[in-house]
Chains A and B, each alone.
Chain A
């Protein structure tokens, strides 16, 4: 009984990790850019929502809705002004610039909001749960997982059913030829990062409602997201969800054995997959 419960909790936790990972996966898929500040941008998103909650007295769900255009703009400007300049053959500049960004965001939040833990409080839904007979699950984790599925379906639809998605795929495959067809890679990339930041905002909202957060927790979120992407296989969004679930289950099972092993178990699961399936479980892209 306890094991089924542990497994279910792990799967639902995986939904949150898939949300962390989807933005990272999207940006990498389109412009081969790994954003080392991704985790810190999620934490930044949580603070933006927190500021809106306390300034306007809104529920976190509504506050996240207000935060969406703000975060989209931050992403768009970041790509236009900074990241577009460092894209290219050499992987060093984007890595170092996003690493610098990570340090800057972390310490700016530290100066502005101190190292105190913060929390987003959604009200009674926070402690609500559903009795499914075999197990009882919290409404919030269930909602998180459902959101991850919706985000992945929406991103897949965007990719394969819209003109913008076509532009994304074309630029990803061959930026030069895409340019001949009238696509501006700089704008496409800015759009992609903006959309990634929308996913980041959704992830930030659930992060803030699930547990306490402070300015230093970003890098750990980046690592979970990265592990989910690699386990799933580069370029596959559904694979990313599976990767998130594997990390989530490994963590809850590890925690059930010894509370101190929770995070370690997730990392070990990742290393095991890397040892036996270096290209992930569902490899698709050739990179």
Chain B
């Protein structure tokens, strides 16, 4: 009997198939949106998408890699400044400078990792924060990009941006609106690549190794997983993606200063709460979280920093009573996973009937 049995490893679920189709429709709609939507909606969506990208990369770090960083603003700011530097000093097209910003963030991540990987757990967190402060204070000394008070992208650099004329002709809008649309499209591409890339990574052998390191370092090591290498992989990947997102955010803003670009509240605290509230360790979580964050921010827009206080308090409550976040609660109740990465062993007999399914984390 035993030789008639075949084994298959599957990650797909019916919900995921529907989610895949929905995601495709969603992407098409997002791309087509500038044709109908108002400029403010495009700006809001740009903000949501870029925060989503930051949240996905922080989630990769902390939720999958177990590296709780509170210093991601180092890579946001450094990426943004690299883009400004390349555009102002070398006259490089800012759109083309965006991938370069990712590389700059990656290069910063190497010495950063050298220092912070010496620190464990919570001390790692504050260590990344110190590095971010060092980078902020150093960049504030860089006179060519405005020192401590910051600078703007020069008018001619903005005007000649790659694809800007095309967008202007296409929609018949002014340069400033065209820049928003261009930045928005880039944000859609970045968000799709980020979610797709992280989903792909988690489903490869490396993703399995990553999950094993997160769940139990010693057990993973005993099975031959190089834990330190996985940490490096996650840290460098996140730095690259965060740097790219930072450059894109400041391409749209057009003006930069060290205090804003290296803000721990804007680029790390909010991002962390988005992930925690939505559900850490899932791809769906940050998507839910970013929508909740945006709703809170919009509702309390006229009341100063109340939304931040509420966001923080909400994050604490979630951590205390539902540590797997809102998506975790939903997923536990319904069993639905839109981006399944859980490998299930399916054992089938000769007649093709499924004998049993086994969950295999």
A residues adjacent to B (C-beta < 8 A): 33-34, 36, 82, 85-86, 91-97, 99-104, 107-108, 110-111, 219-220, 222-223, 226-227, 230, 260, 263-264, 267-268, 270-271, 274-275, 278, 287
Contacts and interface: CB of A to CB of B under 8 A. Distances in A.
Interface string B299-332: 0000011101101110110011001000000000
Contact of B121 (A86, A91, A100, A108): A91
A33 B134 CA distance: 25
7 closest A-B pairs by beta carbon, nearest first, are A34-B122, A103-B312, A100-B316, A278-B118, A91-B121, A107-B305, A100-B312
B306 A267 contact: no
Contacts of A103: 265, 269, 273, 308-309, 311-312
Contacts of A95: 68, 122, 125
24 contacts: A36-B70, A36-B125, A82-B316, A85-B320, A93-B319, A93-B320, A93-B323, A95-B122, A96-B316, A99-B269, A100-B312, A100-B315, A101-B312, A102-B312, A103-B308, A107-B305, A111-B305, A222-B126, A223-B126, A223-B129, A226-B130, A264-B134, A268-B134, A274-B118
B200 interface: no
A219 B264 contact: yes
A214 to B, nearest CB: 13
A104 B323 contact: no
Nearest to B305: A107
B318 to A, nearest CB: 9
A104 B319 contact: no
A62 to B, nearest CB: 32
A79 to B, nearest CB: 14
B138 interface: yes
Nearest to B70: A99
- The interface residues of chain B, by DSSP majority, are classed as helix
Contacts of A94: 122
Contacts of B309: 103-104, 107-108, 111
A3 B127 CA distance: 30
A34 B305 contact: no
Chain B interface size band reads 35 or more
B62 interface: yes
A219 B73 CA distance: 14
Contacts, number: 116
A91 B313 contact: no
A107 B308 contact: yes
B133 interface: yes
Nearest to A35: B122
Nearest to B117: A278
Contacts of A111: 304-306, 309
Contact of B122 (A91, A102, A271, A278): A91
Contact of A97 (B120, B127, B319): B319
B140 interface: yes
B125 A34 contact: yes
B296 interface: no
Given A36-B122, A271-B134, 8 more contacts: A33-B122, A99-B269, A111-B306, A223-B129, A267-B130, A267-B133, A274-B127, A275-B114
Interface of B: 62, 68, 70, 114-115, 118-123, 125-127, 129-131, 133-134, 137-138, 140-141, 148, 264-265, 269, 272-273, 276, 280, 304-306, 308-309, 311-313, 315-316, 319-320, 323
A245 B68 CA distance: 29
B122 A104 contact: no
A152 B148 CA distance: 38
Contact of B312 (A107, A267, A278): A107
A110 B315 contact: no
B319 A96 contact: yes
B308 A264 contact: no
Contacts of B133: 220, 223, 263, 267
Contact of A99 (B131, B272, B304): B272
Nearest to A267: B134
A108 B312 CA distance: 11
A230 B305 CA distance: 33
Nearest to A101: B316
A275 B116 CA distance: 10
A223 B264 contact: no
Contact of A227 (B130, B141, B313): B130
A277 B354 CA distance: 58
A278 B115 CA distance: 9
A100 B68 contact: no
B126 A36 contact: yes
A232 B23 CA distance: 52
A85 B148 CA distance: 42
Nearest to B311: A103
B123 A267 contact: no
A260 B70 contact: no
Q: Most chain-A CB neighbours within 10 Å: which of B120, B126, B272, B309?
A: B126
A33 B126 CA distance: 13
B320 A86 contact: yes
A34 B70 contact: no
Contact of B313 (A86, A104, A287): A104
Contacts of B319: 86, 93, 96-97, 100
Given A103-B308, A104-B313, A107-B305, A271 B126 contact: no
